[in-house]
Structure 1
C-alpha cells in the first residue's frame, strides 16, 4: 500500500511544481536547498503528528532541539531525496517519501495503510481481515468436529443422542427439586433489581429537590456549582500563566478543562517577564512562537492553548536574538 502513498505524494509534488506553488528551494532542489527547506518548514509549521517521522529521519531523541539537529545534519544525507526528485522513476527509502510529504504539506500524512488502496480497491486493512476470515473458515469445522466426537467412558460420543443410536432416551422418574430452586433464584433477582431501581429513583428526586431549593436561586443569584464534599480535584485549567487544579464540575464559563497532570501543574508556567531570563536559562527555558511573538515557559511539553505546538528548548541563538537586549 505504501506504493500508492508514494505515487500520490509525488503527483502532489508535480502539481505544485507545475503551478509554481513550491518554494524556490524545491522548485530547483539540491541537497543543500532541501536542508534549508527543512529549517524553514520546521520554524513555520511544526506539528505533533510529524514528530515520529522527524525523529526517525534525523535520528533525534524526543527532547532534542530539531532546529540544531537539522543545522548540524550532514547535507549529503539529503542526496537520495534530491536524486529521486530529479529522476522520479527510480526508488527511494520510505523515510525520504515521508520527508517530502512533510516539506510540501501533503495530506493525509504520515502514511497509514487504511488511508490508501491498491489498483483493485483493496486496502491493507481489508486484506488482513479477509485473510483472517479465510483462516477462521478452516478452523471452525475442526473445532466443531472436536466438540461432537469426544468420547465418554461408556463408549458413546458425547454429541450423539439415544435416538441416533437406535435406543430410546431414558426418561427421569419421580419428582425433581430443580424447578423450585430456579424459581427462588428468579424471585431473589427480581427483588434485588427493584431495590436498585428504587434507590436510583430516590437519588434523582433528591437531586431535583436540591436544585429547586438551592440558596439564592429564587432571588435570581447564580452561584458556581461546587464539587461534592470529599471529592478530589481531578481536572485542571490554564489561567493564562499557569495550570490551576479544580474539580471536573467546577467551571461553567466555557473554560477548557484538562485531566489533572501533576507534573504540568507543578512545573509548567509562562514566563511573563523575559528580562528575568539569564544566559543560564539556555537549555532550561522553553519557548514557542505564537502569532509572530515569542512566549517563554519553565518546562518542556506542548503549548497549553495551541496543543499541537511543541515547546522548544531555548538556544543561545534565540537567547541572543530575543532576550539579550533586556539585560
Structure 2
C-alpha cells in the first residue's frame, strides 16, 4: 500500500484540471486569469455549494462569522488568485493547501478536501510517476540526438550558432527600439470594456473613452471576447442535445440573452441557462 501524500493530492488535482479545462467552464479555465477565477467562484456559489465546499470557500476567502459569502468573494483581493493561476498554467508546480482545496472545487475533483483525500485508501501512483518518466525520457532522447553529430560537423555547428546569436541580437535591438516608439505613440490595449453587445480591447488608462463612464474597464481576458449578447426569436435554436446553448439575465423586467455562460457584463450577475419556461414567457409571447 502506497502512503498518500500532499504531493499526490497536488498531482491528482492538476491531472483533473487538464481533463476538464476544455469542458463546460473552458471560458474560465482554459486561459485562466485572476478575474476569471474569481468569477468562476461566484458562478459555482450561485449554482449551490455543499457544506464541505462552503467550508473551503469560507476558509479561502477568510469569511468572518455573520459576513455574506458572495460579498466576501466580490471584495476579495483579486491578486491572491495569481498563485492559483500560476499553478494551473504550470508556472508554479506547488501551492498551499487552502489554494489547492479551492482548485479542487473549481475543477470538481473528488475526494476533497485534502483531509478526506488522504483517507480514501490505497492509491495507484503509477500514472503520475509514468508521466514524469516519459518527460525525462523525451529530454534524454533530445539531448542525445543533439550530441550525435560527427566530429567534423562540430566546428561548423559552433560557427553557425555564433552567427545565429549575432543576428538574433541585432533583431532584438531593432525590435526593442521599435517597441519603445510603439509604446509611446500607440500604447497596447491591455484592458477590455463592454460595448453594447460585446467586449472590446481598450487602453487601460481609459478616462477619455466614450463609454468609460457607463461600463467599467477590466484586465484583458481573451476568453471573454467570445461572450456576445444576442437577439432571439421563435426560430432561435436554444438547445443542442437537450442541453442549453443560450444563457440569460433579467433586467428591468426583461430578459437579455447571451451565447455563453459567465457573468452579466454590466450587472455582474451570474448568467443562467435558458429554460422552456423562460422561452415561453419572454420570447414566444413577445409580439
Using the size of structure 1 for normalisation, the TM-score is 0.34
Kindly name which structure, 1 or 2, has the bigger radius of gyration based on alpha carbons.
1
Using the size of structure 2 for normalisation, the TM-score is 0.39
Identify the structure with bigger relative contact order (alpha carbons < 8 Å, sequence gap 6+). 2
